[in-house]
Structure formats: C-alpha cells, structure tokens
Structure 1
C-alpha cells in the first residue's frame, strides 16, 4: 500500500474517533431504518390484532347493534364453567398428542426410505408431497367417500372380507382418531421434505467412517443420523404442534364436531361462538386461551430440547 493511501486511511480513522456522540447516534438511528418496514408490518399484522383481541375478550359485544360493554374477566369465568369448551380443549390436546408424534416418526421414516437417487424415489417423493397441495375441502370430501358406512371404499373392503360395515365418523371412540388419520395423510409431505433436506446436508464421509467401523444400520441411525438432524426434529415437532392446535377444517367438514362433541376442537368452538352465536367477546376469550395454550406448549418443547442438548 502506498504512503498516500496509508495517510488517507489514518485520516479517516482519526475523523471517526473524533466524531461527536450525536453523529454516532444519528448513524445508529439511520441503521434502524433498515428494519423499520419489518417492525411496522409486524406490529400491524400481529401486535395490534393481538392487543385488540385481548381487549375484545374483556367485553360483551353485540354484533347486531355494534355496542360493547366492559365485563372484565367474566368471559373467562364462563369459559371455565363451560363443559363444551372443556371438552374442546381435551379433544384438541388429544389430537395434538396423537398426530404430532406420527408426523415426526412417519415423516422421518419416509425421508430415510426416499433419501436416495433415482426416478422411483423421486416419483414417490412427489406422490407423498402431492397431497399437501390439496385443499381441506377436497381432502375431506375424498375421505368421506372412503368412509361412507355402506357404499364407501372401506365398507366394500369389509364386505369382501365378510365383516360388518363400521361407521367410524359417527363413533365417539373413532371419530377423532380418523380425523388424525386424514390429517396425517394430507400433510405428511411437509415434514418428509424437511427431513429430506436435513438428511441431504449430512456429509457422506460420516457414513463412510461408520461403515469402516462396521456400524449396523440401527447404530448409524442412532449415533450418526439422529444427532445430525436433531434441530430439524425439534423444528418439525414445534411446527406440527402449532399447526395441529389450529385444526378446524377437517373436524368441521367431516363430523361437525360430533358425535356428542367428541371431535370438536377449540378453533371450531371459537368459530361457532363468534359466527353462529354472535358472542364475539366470548369467542375472543376462547382465542386468547388457545393462544396461551400454544405458547405454553411451544415453550415447554423448546425448554425440553434445550435441556436435552446440554
């Protein structure tokens, strides 16, 4: 570097050191302008609706006359005493506990089976992922045709085997598990693709070293593959918990929450309270309870993963 360039750099450094605190503060504020658009959109689309929903949950709102009366925590007290809401909470927790482990385990199994080159694996990946792009209306219509008690595909199979037909969607025992089956069939492609992306990031040299050590497939999976994709496992679990707590369309279109409220989730309860019974404050209170449940569930999951990683 020439002497002229060195002197220019020294002068620039000196001017930076002697810059006034006000000038440095102005530079910091100008840097903050880069994230201002995100903060504005985040506030308008998330923070403001959340605060508005919390305020509405403390009121009794008349949707017809557009009047509102502040009632404090009365909506929450009524929710606590509402047997239908408590059943909806139990159904939602049962649905999440049944579906999330299946998404993680089956998605990982499919990814392990299809993580190989070739047209056959690519075709199967496209088939499994293809159902994820369908709308909930199409999915539920197809499965209602499959599960029709006397003329559906399942009924024809049971008749061919000499077994009586079973109406699964009208059974208090089987209605919710069948919604789990439909949901898994519908969106298993997303966790599969996430696991595939993680598996393809593992260096082949690691597997070659395991093969040189004569490690079995199970030991390779346990000591090489799973530790390498543990962050993706946590990501899939958290994403599925968030999604499945918001389950609505499948139950609403397949069972209408029945029989005897055995498959009614919290979101359907909120929908019915707000748009059928016009109790907007009551529905907003139920929404806040659902938000708190999801927040606690995600925090517990993140804490458990953090403790496991230590």
Structure 2
C-alpha cells in the first residue's frame, strides 16, 4: 500500500525556499563572497596604495613559508591559545560552580565578573599598563612590599606573552562563566535531590553528575575560546606592540602590518588564509577528540 502524499503546510513546495532566501543571500554576501575574494587576492601581488594586482600563484604562500617573522608569529599565537584557553575554561567553570547559588553576594560577584568583559580594550590595557609600570606600578609596589625582586612582566621575552594572556583572562572571563552558569541551571534538580537522599559525597556528585552534564557546554566554551584567542590582536598592539623582540606579535598583527603598513594586500591575505586553515584544523581536532571520547564510552 503506497503512502498518501503529503498535503497542507508540510507539503514540499519550491515557494518555501523564499523563507530562507534572505538569510542565504545575506550569508553569501557577507561571508562566502569575502572568503572567495580573499582566496583570489592571496594569489596576487596586490598593492593597496596603487591598486595594481599581478598574478603570482602560490608565490605569497612560498614567501610565507620562508618568512622567519611569520614562523615566529604563528608560534606566538599557538602559545597564546595553549596558555589562555585552558585557563579560560577551567577558571570560568570553577567560578560558575562557586556562584551557582541564590543570594545577594553570589549575584554581586556574578555581575562583577561579567561587567569586566564589557570594558573596552583600550580601557583594560590602559589600566594594566599603569599597574605593570616598572618601580611605580601597583604590581611593582606589591613585590617591593613583599621583599621580592621586581619581574619585567612586559619587557621579558619569556613573561610578556604570559602576562598578556592573564590580562585577557581577567578581562573576558565573565563570558564563558555565564555560559557555564546557564548550562548548570539546565541540570534537573531532581538528580541532585536523589543524590542527597543517597548521601552521595560532593566529589562524586561533581564527577558523576555535574561534569558529565556539562560536557557539551565545555566543548562549546573550548571551541569559542580557541577561535577567539587565535584572533588576539588589540591588547597585544596596545600593551607591547608585538615586542619585545617579536615575542608577543600575533598572526593578526602581522596581517594588519602587512596590509596597512607595508601595503601588501596579497601577502597579508595569504597570511589570513593560513590563519583560517590553522583555526579550522584546531577546531576540527577538538571536535574529533570529543567524538572519539564519546564513542569510546
């Protein structure tokens, strides 16, 4: 017996495509076309000032492969992501667990942590540059009061990138914290009530109920932070300008300098395509690892 044809509002009609056509058009204009245009420009020697363009094929990519400065900025960016992302995810999760409770104090602390994330990058970097000033800064005075030697936090090749990562964490830790708070509030209270009736220890509740329920939120927060930290730029530009000795220069800063200071748009666009490829590889690896873990369970 053949199935009856679908009729009514659920029937497939070509006219239904009109409902998604505005989104598809905007998506194509704002994302797909710039992406394709960027790939096309990366195969050209494009002078931003004269607007002259010459086909060079893979010449820009070959030059990037041999560029020692580009190697350094890629390494700096990877280090920054590796330092900041685990701190973001771990610390924001701990804050969410600690502040996921009723009360005025918890509400005040949630608002305090979140408010820092709405500050402009200029304000944040100005405050921290004053705090990290040698001898007269708040951090230097704190070291002096404790009888400890002053650390060159922004002038050391080994400490500058770590310092910027910690400032970045202080600045926008409230956003992943809010994500985890919303995920915690979606866990049914009945599960915790059943665990309390069984006198389940808190650490077992955390490891067997809370963290497994937050798995998707943890993956989402990790992916968001990986993508965001790969694009680090303004705080580095304002705090160290890529120094000392290129130890904090990021890929985005390299792209900015090549495009708007060296006026080499083709070379800068090729570097942006490399950044996009690195981000896609990082996100794909994270998703693959999470899927592999889920399959193993």
**TM range, smaller chain:** over 0.9
CA 1:28/1:165 → structure 2, altered by over 3 Å: closer, same or farther? same
Q: Please tell me whether residue 223 in structure 1 is matched to residue 175 in structure 2.
A: no
Q: CA deviation at 1:64?
A: 2.2
Report the count of equivalent residues: 290
Match of 2:165 in 1: 180
Counterpart CA distance in 2 for 1:240 and 1:151 is: 34
3-state SS, counterpart of residue 266 of structure 2: helix
What residue ranges of structure 2 are gaps of 5+ in the alignment?
none
1:28 corresponds to: 13
Deviation at 1:16, TM superposition (A): 5.2
In structure 2, the residue matched to 1:57 is 42
SS at match of 1:34: helix
Deviation at 1:118, TM superposition (A): 0.7
Residue 14 of structure 1 deviates from its aligned partner by 8.9
Residues 62 and 217 of structure 1: CA distance in aligned 2, closer, same or farther (over 3 Å): same
Question: Which of 105, 111, 133 is the matching residue for 2:118?
Answer: 133
> Per the alignment, in what secondary structure is the counterpart of residue 243 of structure 2?
coil
Distance 1:130 1:70, change over 3 A: same
Contact 1:150 1:156 survives alignment (8 Å): yes
How much has 1:213 moved relative to structure 2?
2.4
Give the alignment partner of residue 247 of structure 1, picking from 218, 232, 238: 232
Partners in 2 of 1:113 and 1:166 — Cα distance? Answer: 32
- Which string of whole-angstrom CA distances, capped at 9 and with x for unpartnered residues, describes residues 137-157 of structure 1? 111111101100111001111
Structure 1 distance, partners of 2:115, 2:216, is: 25
DSSP-derived class of the 2:244 partner: coil
Distance 2:58 2:246 in 1: 26
SS for the counterpart of 2:154 is helix
Does the Cα contact within 8 Å between 2:236 and 2:248 map onto a contact in 1? Answer: yes
2:218 is equivalent to residue 233 of structure 1: yes
Please say if residues 89 and 265 of structure 1, whose CA atoms lie closer than 8 Å, have aligned partners that are also in contact.
Answer: yes
Distance across 2 between alignment mates of 1:137 and 1:44:
31
Alignment counterpart, residue 280 of structure 2, candidates 289, 295, 304:
295
Tell me, what secondary structure is at the counterpart of 1:108?
Answer: helix
Q: Which residue of 1 aligns with 2:132?
A: 147
Three-state SS of the structure 1 residue aligned to 2:53 is strand
Query: Tell me, which stretches of 5 or more residues in structure 1 are unaligned?
Result: 1-12, 18-23
What is the TM-score normalised by the length of structure 1?
0.91
Q: Which structure has the larger Rg?
A: 1
What residue is the counterpart of 1:94 in the other structure? 79
1:113 is aligned to: 98
Q: 1:207 to 1:279 in 2, by over 3 A?
A: same
2:134 partner SS = coil
Q: 1:64 to 1:217 in 2, by over 3 A?
A: same
Equivalent-residue separation in structure 2 for 1:176 and 1:32 (angstroms): 49
Q: Is the 8 A contact 2:48 2:259 kept in 1?
A: no
Aligned to 1:4: none
Alpha-carbon RMSD: 1.5
- Paired residue for 1:3? none
The answer to whether the aligner puts 1:68 opposite 2:53 as a matched pair is yes
Report deviation, 1:306. 1.3
Cα pair 1:148 1:167 within 8 Å, conserved: no
